[in-house]
Chain A
Amino acid sequence: MGCYHSKRTKETPGYEEPTVLAAETPFTVSEVEALYELFKKLSSSVIDDGLIHKEELQLALFRNKNRRNLFADRIFDLFDVKRNGVIEFGEFVRSLGVFHPNAPVEDKIHFTFRLYDLRQTGFIEREELKEMVLAILHESDLLLSDDVVETIVDKTFSDADLKGDGKIDPEEWKEFVSKNPSLIKNMTLPYLKDITLAFPSFVLSTEVEDSE
């Protein structure tokens, strides 16, 4: 990892050293530094306090800080590991690490399970699945009759609920994803491999040599 000696003072609450974050994620130190540039941009877009608020995530995703959405809320909640209403830099990097092309598939499957376990019961339940289907239909202005929605939910649920106990557990979810790998397509962001190109401003000032 090399010898790290920071000359910079990071006063941002929740800031963690790139060397520490790189050791715990698929990112290199340079990539973590580049992510800090992105983090600074996002965390100052509405409230300039070095923390990402929900409105700032909504602004980044929708170009509208007031647009609420079930899935954006879930993404925010999963990134906000400490559940204190904001995303800190360390939380941001560790969560994005799951989206890295080199992150373990197991982590991606686990993340999607938690994403869809809306009420955090440890299971994806039929009502949650229907709620998410209705949310995507509403979001996309797509009209489907309730009968069609029920049929889609029933079919999917019976395919995934191998034990037939009315809920999808993590093991069943893993099996279902293995049969339908496109379900974790959103969990890989190719951009993360090029993050140092997207946010290169740090390169001239970086103080750490990557070990890779």
Chain B
Amino acid sequence: SPKSPNLINAFQLIGMSSCLDLSGLFEK
């Protein structure tokens, strides 16, 4: 099927949320 290379996947966009990066838990 044809792809839209310029269109970001909505889940990739959501994954950019800082809240989904739990590495902050390990910061002293």
Contact = CB atoms under 8 A, between A and B. Distances in A.
A72 interface: yes
Contacts of A70: 19
Interface in B1-28: 4, 7-26, 28
Interface stretch (A6-14, A18-26, A148-156): A148-156
A135 B26 CA distance: 25
Contacts of B18: 61-62, 139
Contact of B10 (A61, A115, A129): A129
A168 to B, nearest CB: 10
B11 A155 contact: no
Contacts of A155: 4, 7, 9-10
A61 B19 contact: yes
Given A129-B10, A152-B10, A183-B11, A136 B17 contact: yes
B17 A156 contact: no
Contacts of B25: 38, 42, 60-61
A11 B4 CA distance: 56
Contacts of B19: 61-62, 69-72, 75, 139
The majority secondary structure among interface residues of chain A is helix
Interface string A180-200: 101101100101000100100
B15 A182 contact: yes
Contact of A136 (B9, B13, B24): B13
Nearest to B26: A191
B7 A189 contact: no
B17 A139 contact: yes
B16 A140 contact: yes
Interface of B: 4, 7-26, 28
Interface of A: 38, 42, 60-62, 69-72, 75, 96, 99, 115-116, 129, 132-133, 135-136, 139-140, 151-153, 155-157, 159-160, 176, 180, 182-183, 185-186, 189, 191, 195, 198
